[in-house]
Structure 1
Amino acid sequence: MELLYVWIEDYKNIKKQGFNFSPKHWFDFEYEEDKEGTVIGGTLHHEERNSNYPKDFFGENISNVTAIVGKNGSGKSNLTEYLIEIIRQSECTSEYNNLNNFTLVFKSSIDKIRIISSIFKTNQINLSSNNKIPLTTEYKHLSELYLPLDLKFLFLSSNINRRLSSINIPHSFFETQQIDLSNITLLEDYNLDQVHYQDILNITSILYENAGTFFNFFKHPKYLTIEVQHDNIVSDYYHEADKKEVFLEKFCRSLLKNIQSISDIILQDEISKILENGTFNDILEYIHRNIDSDLTLYNILSDALSKDITVSGIIFYDLDNNADKLHFEQLRTKLNKFIKDKPWIDLSKIFKIDWQYKSENTQTYKSPLSYGELTKASFLARMYQNIKLSEKEYFVLIFDETSIGYHPQWQKHEIYSLIEFLNTVFPTKFFQVLITSHSPFLISDLPKDNIIFLNKKENGECEVKQPEDMTHTFGANIHSLYRNSFFLENGLMGEFAKGKIDQVIRNLSNEQLNEKEKMSPEDIQFVIQQIGEPLIKNKLQQMYDQHFHFDLEDRIKQLEKEVADLKKRRK
């Protein structure tokens, strides 16, 4: 199953625009309008292209990888956002809300084209060149617009400024067809610490498994630790016989204090009395009766404490220990469920989950991951857990600028590592990948027919540039890609440097300058010496010599002085 094409009538800056996702199939919707400009039908043209395109170019279980690139504001994120909206609303029981006419085209595993449209009835046709499919406007209700049931969409985005429209998707016996794993969506339901805890738990789980070999871009921790956040019970109170009970009492008191902080005044007073005068059993009974009838979280930690803890009350899970692995997996499963069932309880104020490492002298220490490391590990872990647990066979993975914060070295490996991960870890699943990006390294791994080039017209609308009008991208150098594929204007040099060089040129060209623009010979020479492009540097040096009447001997003396200065620095 593969998404081949989408046509969108009107969404943000996308107006009556089609997008082809396959290098082997090309579609174009020739629409018809009424007098008011409303699309009332048309013809969907289709032709097969690139017959010599290798069958398994990205591996046996990856049908296609498509990058969506272009200027800021050209519509990259709007396109992926619209796709997710269609899928979200397809799981509702009403008509598509706030979405104008659209058409989706899929290719099934048996070489059939399936067309899902708000303009005409769902249909199937055999694949053949130059087909023309007549469209009508008779069918537009959701009951006629079902998506392929064996297909699942996963959406990941690092963007926390956008928000998809709020749609109530009813719970169903069947597995949902879309999962939004982006930061903004998770933060709608959980606070930042809860999302962070879930990511740490999921990443740690993967480090135990074979898939952990794909997480070699950061140093793996030795331990996962859990520490209750409570200052009223100090570590001196501990004795070997009562460590577990005191730990659990600390937890229960922290839990009640957290509930108290978000409760009304009457409940706050009630909890205060329990905390001040109640025994441990009284507190436990109150939690059981009013907060957590199954005592899920209490039992999670109680089970965890069947293993040793430190005198300070910190639980250590040794990631190299098989027995600890079993305890940890029980903890992870129950804790993730608790977070999802009770997102209003802020666990970060009750206990802290962290990683620790062991040095050569056996001392433990903390070493937080960088933003890029944690972002990459979190996205991979979210994707891994959802694919692993899904019964679906086909997946469309949509990545919206997930490489933000990656070092260029990582950007070079993004396509390669993703393909290796999917082919190796999930050999029985099938994938299509859509990626929006500003990285030239990413598109240098893709043929130009695998790239949707978006331009922003003067009126702000999205414009698709056809691949035949673009230069080849596969294996291309960065400078060519920036200039041709990202529609970079006015050269590749930073604007500040360009301004300084222009100022030098004006000073050396005897132009009329105001006092602010004038530069001393020393300042002009300094700028010239900093320039990294040899052609520009040498040309400006010639202009400088001519302007200030430097002869050859003067130039030699100047260079000798520079060499002497460099030798002094070396000493």
Structure 2
Amino acid sequence: MELAYLWIENYKVLSNQEFNFGAKYYFSLKNKTITYSENASHIPNFYNIGSGKANITNITAVIGQNGAGKTTLFEFIRKYVLGSEIPQKKFIAVYISGDHIFVKGNRLEEYLFNFKYSQIENSMRKNKTVFISTVYDRKTEEQIPHELNLSTNFLLQKNSYESTKIQYDINLLDVFSKNKEELSLNIDLRFPDNLEVALIDNLMDSKFFYEYSEQINKINNILLIKEISKEKTLYRQLLFTVFNGFLRYISRQKKLHYNDKIRSDKELNFLLNDLIVDLAKKIDPLNADDTFLLTLRDMSARSDNYKSYKKNIKNIVVFLEYVGNLLGEGKYIDINESRDDRFTLIGQNKIIEFINYYSRSNFKKDFLEFNWAVLSSGEECIIDIFSRLYQVVKTNNGSQQLNVYLLIDEIENNLHPQWQKQILEDMIRFIRKFYSNWNVQIILTSHSPFMISDLPHYNVILMEKLINGEIVNGTLENHELTFASNIHTVLAHSFFMKNGTMGQFATNKVNSLYKQILNKPISELIFQREEFERLINIISEPILRHKLMNTLEERLKFNVYDEINLLKEEILKLKRLNNNND
């Protein structure tokens, strides 16, 4: 089922706006009547290139300046059109499935439709909405029912962003390494062989467990003692981080506050007695590692006393044993020479293995940070996009029939122009390969003219904020064609560039130069000629450069008598100045 049309009565900056998403029919609302006509330019299966079974029903780009309403449109689609919420104001959404037309909206009885349609329920089965954005602008993202929110803003609201993000990366790395030749993407989606890891400073404020503060301080002080070997020092740093991270997790789970009485909670009493009191009794600088692990193993064996934490304790033990063995092998971990809380994992297989162990042990709160150190921000962004695209597959694994609506915000964010040219085709090939037999509709927002060049004109929605603040949407003037258009022509279009394509600083500089050449006295032009010529010669645009140079030369054209008279005037000025000084 494909979203073909949307009319919004009033929502934030959008007022009486209608949007056609480039389906085989155009729809329009006039005088409370919805009409439709055939889209004569529409080409079925236009985006189904390469190998794969996924059916990409349509791709629409919403292009516009900042503040033009793109985010607001996405929000409305996510909440009300594809979601189950009902807005206060009226809206009409039209879907197409084969030759059948479906309509969703509120107060539809007030409108006439010149076509047959079926009304659909608010909650549409076999539909999956996915929102992807690599933009981080600190906005609070709410969880919309039945939507998979893979935006950076939303993921950062969770306590385990680091492990979530790196697990997404690892999932992509694993599947990509197995399908690299078959995918044949334009962009080199490569993963480094090294992953930098840093321990997060998780020192727990003992006031949350004030009755145990003496024991907690003793354990922490011992774990922070530097050892002779850097491997042992790193491992104890890790134990310190895990210990304090686990205490922080317990305080959140139990919703503890400063100086809370905890003896009334039987489960918590058992847990803290085994984790803190017993450990503090046994631990000393010589046996800290073994004592710490032995304590956790004993707790795992008698975890019926604190069933809520049984899985956590078991996974922590497994992870710590794994890291200890890895350090003992001595070839997969390279410890930072200047920082004993940082190390580098070596080898893609070990990276995948390490992350899988860690993801099961981080008690919903990260105690490690990860960094693909040799990747640029653009390469990181490419991995972010494709790892989240693949997460849709992981989340819905086994779903045979599904209508997927992919809403992607600013897909070109942080990408070099060459990659902006290639990202859409690579995304299509990736989705075709991994989205099985699903029907996929993609709606994306962008500032990039490259998106326009890759899409037919009927798949492009332009949103613009007028001087009076009104938001309008439409097409390029004279309904110009967009597909395979020259990128320079598109960029020069008034929708993208007001008052030309030159940067504002350069524009002001050139205008000022031109005014000076026209208005300065000839005498000043003569003395400043070299300076003006230097400025003119660095201008790239040849017509503009020649025009300025010709104007300068025209103003400097005068005969020898004019030059003599000019010099005489200068001599007289100097004499007068000298006489005045006397």
Name the TM-score, length of structure 1 as normaliser.
Answer: 0.73
The residue identity in structure 2 corresponding to 1:112 is: H
The residue identity in structure 1 corresponding to 2:78 is: I
SS at match of 2:63: strand
- CA deviation after TM superposition for structure 1 residue 30, in Å: 2.5
1:275–1:283 Cα contact (<8 Å) kept: no
Alignment counterpart, residue 114 of structure 2, candidates 125, 131, 134: 131
For 1:278 and 1:8, the matched residues in 2 are separated by 68
1:81–1:164 Cα contact (<8 Å) kept: no
Alignment counterpart, residue 44 of structure 1, candidates 27, 34, 37: 34
The residue identity in structure 2 corresponding to 1:376 is: I
SS at match of 2:67: coil
1:161-203 deviation per Cα after TM superposition (whole angstroms, max 9, x unaligned): 374674674xxxxxx3x21111111122236545544444444
The residue identity in structure 1 corresponding to 2:191 is: H
> 1:30-41 counterparts in 2 under 5 A?
30=30
2:10–2:90 Cα contact (<8 Å) kept: yes
- CA deviation after TM superposition for structure 1 residue 264, in Å: 3.7
1:483-503 deviation per Cα after TM superposition (whole angstroms, max 9, x unaligned): 337342111111111111111
The residue identity in structure 2 corresponding to 1:423 is: R
For 2:527 and 2:489, the matched residues in 1 are separated by 34
Structure 1's 547 and 264: CA in aligned 2 closer, same or farther, altered over 3 A? same
1:253-299 deviation per Cα after TM superposition (whole angstroms, max 9, x unaligned): 34346558976444799787666445424466679666732225314
2:95–2:102 Cα contact (<8 Å) kept: yes
Structure 1's 145 and 353: CA in aligned 2 closer, same or farther, altered over 3 A? same
- After TM superposition, the structure 1 stretch with the greater mean CA deviation from structure 2, 74-83 or 484-493, is 484-493
- CA deviation after TM superposition for structure 1 residue 353, in Å: 4.1
Indicate the residue corresponding to 1:186 in structure 2: 155
SS at match of 1:484: coil
Number of residue pairs aligned between Structure 1 and Structure 2: 490
Q: State yes or no: 1:106 paired with 2:95.
A: yes
Alignment counterpart, residue 381 of structure 1, candidates 380, 387, 390: 387
For 2:510 and 2:138, the matched residues in 1 are separated by 38
Indicate the residue corresponding to 1:370 in structure 2: 376
The residue identity in structure 2 corresponding to 1:26 is: Y
The residue identity in structure 2 corresponding to 1:157 is: S
Alignment counterpart, residue 459 of structure 2, candidates 432, 450, 453: 450
Structure 1's 379 and 299: CA in aligned 2 closer, same or farther, altered over 3 A? farther
SS at match of 1:397: strand
The answer to which structure has the higher helix fraction is: 2
For 2:298 and 2:245, the matched residues in 1 are separated by 13
For 1:158 and 1:229, the matched residues in 2 are separated by 23
The residue identity in structure 1 corresponding to 2:151 is: S
For 1:500 and 1:518, the matched residues in 2 are separated by 20
For 2:377 and 2:200, the matched residues in 1 are separated by 25
2:196–2:370 Cα contact (<8 Å) kept: yes
- CA deviation after TM superposition for structure 1 residue 374, in Å: 1.0
Indicate the residue corresponding to 1:554 in structure 2: none
The residue identity in structure 1 corresponding to 2:309 is: D
Indicate the residue corresponding to 1:293 in structure 2: 310
1:397–1:433 Cα contact (<8 Å) kept: yes
1:500–1:527 Cα contact (<8 Å) kept: no
Alignment counterpart, residue 531 of structure 2, candidates 510, 523, 526: 523
> 1:5-20 counterparts in 2 under 5 A?
5-20=5-20
> 1:138-157 counterparts in 2 under 5 A?
145-157=121-133
Indicate the residue corresponding to 1:459 in structure 2: 468
Indicate the residue corresponding to 1:351 in structure 2: 368
> 1:85-96 counterparts in 2 under 5 A?
85-86=79-80, 89-90=83-84, 96=86
Indicate the residue corresponding to 1:232 in structure 2: 224
1:70–1:438 Cα contact (<8 Å) kept: yes
1:425-445 deviation per Cα after TM superposition (whole angstroms, max 9, x unaligned): 335222111111111122111
For 1:199 and 1:320, the matched residues in 2 are separated by 14
> 1:537-552 counterparts in 2 under 5 A?
537-549=545-557
The residue identity in structure 2 corresponding to 1:3 is: L
Q: State yes or no: 1:405 paired with 2:414.
A: yes
SS at match of 2:228: helix
1:106-137 deviation per Cα after TM superposition (whole angstroms, max 9, x unaligned): 112x43111111122799x9xxxx934699xx
- CA deviation after TM superposition for structure 1 residue 320, in Å: 5.8
- CA deviation after TM superposition for structure 1 residue 45, in Å: 1.2
2:61–2:445 Cα contact (<8 Å) kept: yes
Greater relative contact order (CA < 8 Å, ≥ 6 in sequence) = 2
SS at match of 2:108: coil
Structure 1's 224 and 72: CA in aligned 2 closer, same or farther, altered over 3 A? closer
- CA deviation after TM superposition for structure 1 residue 534, in Å: 0.6
Q: State yes or no: 1:77 paired with 2:61.
A: no
Q: State yes or no: 1:394 paired with 2:400.
A: no
Indicate the residue corresponding to 1:120 in structure 2: 108
SS at match of 2:501: coil
1:213-267 deviation per Cα after TM superposition (whole angstroms, max 9, x unaligned): 659635422255767668725453699xx99997985564343465589764447
Indicate the residue corresponding to 1:205 in structure 2: 174
Alignment counterpart, residue 53 of structure 1, candidates 43, 64, 85: 43
For 2:137 and 2:517, the matched residues in 1 are separated by 47
Alignment counterpart, residue 159 of structure 1, candidates 135, 148, 163: 135
The residue identity in structure 1 corresponding to 2:133 is: S
Indicate the residue corresponding to 1:68 in structure 2: 62
SS at match of 2:500: coil
- CA deviation after TM superposition for structure 1 residue 473, in Å: 1.6
- CA deviation after TM superposition for structure 1 residue 47, in Å: 1.4
Structure 1's 132 and 162: CA in aligned 2 closer, same or farther, altered over 3 A? farther
Structure 2 unaligned segments of length 5 or more: list them. Answer: 202-222, 263-271, 284-291, 334-342, 560-582
1:327-350 deviation per Cα after TM superposition (whole angstroms, max 9, x unaligned): 458537x53xx66xx54x3x2xx3
- CA deviation after TM superposition for structure 1 residue 519, in Å: 10
Structure 1 unaligned segments of length 5 or more: list them. Answer: 32-41, 170-175, 356-366, 552-571
Indicate the residue corresponding to 2:357 in structure 1: 331
For 1:380 and 1:122, the matched residues in 2 are separated by 44
For 2:463 and 2:526, the matched residues in 1 are separated by 42
- CA deviation after TM superposition for structure 1 residue 309, in Å: 3.0
- CA deviation after TM superposition for structure 1 residue 387, in Å: 2.3
The residue identity in structure 1 corresponding to 2:79 is: E
Query: Cα RMSD between the aligned structures?
Result: 4.3
For 2:140 and 2:151, the matched residues in 1 are separated by 11
- CA deviation after TM superposition for structure 1 residue 539, in Å: 1.1
The residue identity in structure 2 corresponding to 1:217 is: D
Indicate the residue corresponding to 1:309 in structure 2: 327
2:93–2:104 Cα contact (<8 Å) kept: yes
The structure with the larger Rg is 2
2:133–2:152 Cα contact (<8 Å) kept: yes
For 2:179 and 2:110, the matched residues in 1 are separated by 42
Indicate the residue corresponding to 2:427 in structure 1: 418
Indicate the residue corresponding to 1:563 in structure 2: none
Structure 1's 547 and 11: CA in aligned 2 closer, same or farther, altered over 3 A? same
Indicate the residue corresponding to 2:450 in structure 1: 441
SS at match of 1:309: helix
